[in-house]
Structure 1
Amino acid sequence: MSSIGAMSTSADELTGIVGFAARFIDSLGEWGVGLFTLAETVFPPIPSEVILPLAGFLTRQGSLSLPLVFVTSTLGAYAGALALYFLGAKVGLERSIRWLSKLPLVEREDFETAEGWFRRHGKSAIFFGRLLPGVRSLISLPAGAEKMHLGTFSIFTIAGSGIWNGALIGLGVLLGKQYSMVEQYSRFLNYAVYAALAVVVAWLVVRYIRRRKTADEPQ
């Protein structure tokens, strides 16, 4: 069987959100992984914790290049971070937060948390922030607003993204050795993803309702 055939068979065996991601990557190859990480950087609810282990898993099937998956995923994360960096630099932090906080289930506090992290930790916040869910995407806004040197921002962003992506891809590569676990992997990972998304959405909705009630209370 050719490597492409092996890849398609493995992708077809995966179901749910994992199966959708696998078939998307199957169609676009390594650059599909990069598009996912770009989208995940700009729209944090898209879970890199699912996409990157899956990409690593699929490299074991023979069609994807492991080095190229690592490169494209890191470039995608960097491109998304740059978009937020230039948004902050162009329109300022306050206006950026005001615009982006209008997105569904996105709270101003999320941006203020990233801003506080940046102010406390400075340049190191860019590197370590890339390793922290929630902060990972939004940390680029205050960096741009504060006119952090683009070269420094790029180095820390690429380094942090590379470590995070490499760790998740590596987990998928390890799983890829267990061919008999494909169906089990898909089923239980989907359950975990759906449960995590449900918890996150429920928490965001409750937090939004509570804040609206507080805002409506007479002062």
Structure 2
Amino acid sequence: MQEWITNTMNSLGHLGIGLLMFLENLFPPIPSELIMPLAGYVSTQPNSKIQFFGAIAAGVIGTMLGALPWYYVGKLVGEENLKRLANKYGRWIGLSSKDIDKADNWFDKHGDKAVFFCRLVPGVRTLISLPAGISGMPLLPFLLYSTLGTTLWVSLLTYAGYALGENYELVEKYLGPVSKIVFVVLIVAFVLWLLRKRQKNKGKKQV
């Protein structure tokens, strides 16, 4: 993976960075925690075709282009289709159309902040585009808050690689496990939520 990322970046320059970050949003196993620090490190090398601010711009553009497919997948699925699926199959996991309504109301109130902050969270930053699309979040606010969060994230990663030099891999070494931990925590939280919801439903039926 690292060799392929390095070769792509060296051969295509800023375009390669944009392409890698685009793919990272479609296929999360490709780590931005390695791509952007490497770009920051390469920008410090003499006669490098990659420039520090150019790397950041390419990373942001690639990320935003990669976020749009998931956003439109969410749009195509839509809230109404999701409700129909929840009513038809949701009983197997304790999910109903009312739950979808609650989630959608929450996203209407906090969606802007959710999109911004989730762009800074490894393991979640790619996935946030899906609920944004499903909830019907307008495209312009989605792009605005996504771009703000993404610019901050990409800049931090790129600067970390710039500052660490040859030790740029330390960024991925320490942030990589964080992505996995966050993902596991989300799954556990979702399972706990389902279990609590089922217990509440059982209590209502017994009464």
TM-score range, shorter chain: 0.5 to 0.7
Q: Name the larger-Rg structure.
A: 2
- Take 1:173 and 1:163, find their aligned partners in 2: how far apart are those partners? 15
Q: How far 1:18 moved relative to its partner? A: 2.9
What CA deviation, in whole Å up to 9, does each residue of 1:113-140 have, x standing for no partner? xx78846732111101101122211111
| Aligned counterparts, 1:187-198, within 5 A | 192=173, 196=177
**Counterpart in the other structure of 2:144:** 155
What CA deviation, in whole Å up to 9, does each residue of 1:80-123 have, x standing for no partner? 11111111112326878x9xxxxxxxxxxxxx9xx788467321
- Take 1:94 and 1:43, find their aligned partners in 2: how far apart are those partners? 27
**Counterpart in the other structure of 1:58:** 42
- Take 2:160 and 2:171, find their aligned partners in 1: how far apart are those partners? 13
Residue 56 of structure 1 aligns to which amino acid in structure 2?
G
- Take 1:189 and 1:150, find their aligned partners in 2: how far apart are those partners? 32
| Aligned counterparts, 1:32-181, within 5 A | 32-61=16-45, 62-92=48-78, 118=107, 121-176=110-165
| Contact 2:107–2:135 (8 Å) recurs in 1 | no
| Contact 2:162–2:168 (8 Å) recurs in 1 | no
Residue 142 of structure 1 aligns to which amino acid in structure 2?
P
| Contact 1:88–1:142 (8 Å) recurs in 2 | yes
- Take 1:94 and 1:76, find their aligned partners in 2: how far apart are those partners? 31
Give 2:7's match in structure 1, choosing from 19, 23, 35. Answer: 23
Number of residue equivalences: 170
Unaligned runs of 5+ in 2: 86-99, 189-207
Q: How far 1:19 moved relative to its partner? A: 3.2
> How has the CA–CA distance of structure 1 residues 141 and 174 changed in structure 2, closer, same or farther, with 3 Å as cutoff?
same
- Take 1:89 and 1:168, find their aligned partners in 2: how far apart are those partners? 30
| Contact 1:118–1:139 (8 Å) recurs in 2 | no
- Take 1:78 and 1:118, find their aligned partners in 2: how far apart are those partners? 20
Q: How far 1:60 moved relative to its partner? A: 0.6
**Identity rate of aligned residues, in percent?**
37
**RMSD of aligned alpha carbons:** 3.6
- Take 1:94 and 1:171, find their aligned partners in 2: how far apart are those partners? 43
Is the partner of 1:132 in helix, strand or coil?
Answer: coil
> How has the CA–CA distance of structure 1 residues 93 and 127 changed in structure 2, closer, same or farther, with 3 Å as cutoff?
same
Unaligned runs of 5+ in 1: 1-16, 99-111, 177-181, 208-219
Residue 33 of structure 1 aligns to which amino acid in structure 2?
I
> How has the CA–CA distance of structure 1 residues 149 and 189 changed in structure 2, closer, same or farther, with 3 Å as cutoff?
closer
**Counterpart in the other structure of 1:105:** none
> How has the CA–CA distance of structure 1 residues 95 and 69 changed in structure 2, closer, same or farther, with 3 Å as cutoff?
farther
